[in-house]
Structure 1
């Protein structure tokens, strides 16, 4: 157990910064759908501004029958023309309704972007916090292993009782279990971040931290405050 000290991974695929991921939010399916709905609503606004087309109707009676109505010679034909005048503000009302729908679609698009950015920020922060916890657990494991090795050396020299060595090994085993749990939580958080951010390769580390940047901005704001 003492020989199984944690080792740093030989490869790592760091996640893009949160700012980079936010800049690519318009490529997500939800954002693309919301943008398409906005385009459709704006197209309806342009359509609402256009006057209605006139109607031309041709009708025929007493044709293609039998007897004196055989063929088209004895038929009656009529041609009618109609145009919707859109009186009493019908056209402005239609345009205003289409504009309202377009405005609502634009707001829904912005809301979708905000919700996606918020979900991404939460997932990013959880992954970063899990990475910090795993790093702390790894450091604690290294210290426990070093302490256990020193205690066993003292036990072998007769300078410490056997119970001290057993206690040190137990503490190292507990630290190993805590590190394995923290590492599993970190890997799960990285997997969630990869899925939410729709990254082509799985994330194995975070270098441009969101929590550290938030803490730094908060500290600067406190210093600048009167």
Structure 2
């Protein structure tokens, strides 16, 4: 049995309102640094055979409190390349025709000038398979990555089609635990944080009708409930 702990990076000034993507120079803010410290404290008794991180700054900074001498960078756990959507406000992107594809049929979503969500899933799942084989059946390791990447890995572990992965929520600073056995994976913990507050319900339209946007998943993972 190989145990994988998936840690989403902490909050940044852009997390939530802006799709940061692979934009350089996006660092943890004070909230994100506290989330990183809290995660390290919660996991202080776990012995990791490896600590692996996305190459982006916000992930590398999130694992700094772990003082990992065996930190390794794996580009396959990098954020999705959102192409032309990178750096844009989610409120503006929600008006784009591709937004509905990302929400309802993500397996067919290709970001303009960027990557497809299917490609993100394929590379992330392949990376997990590689690390499981490399570290062995008795290993426990940590991967720090991004919302959509972690959601894709969880969907694979649950045997879900990628079109269902928007049903999964992964907050900043959260820990998800998957055990890989010779027969099947087991999802032992999902989106584990110290703050289990519920998000505010979306506002109703002025005419009293249903707010369709309120059912949309947060592309990139969102800012969580903290």
Q: Same-fold call, TM > 0.5?
A: no
- How high is the TM-score relative to the length of structure 2? 0.20
User: Which one has a bigger Cα radius of gyration?
Assistant: 1
Higher helix share: 1
- How high is the TM-score relative to the length of structure 1? 0.20
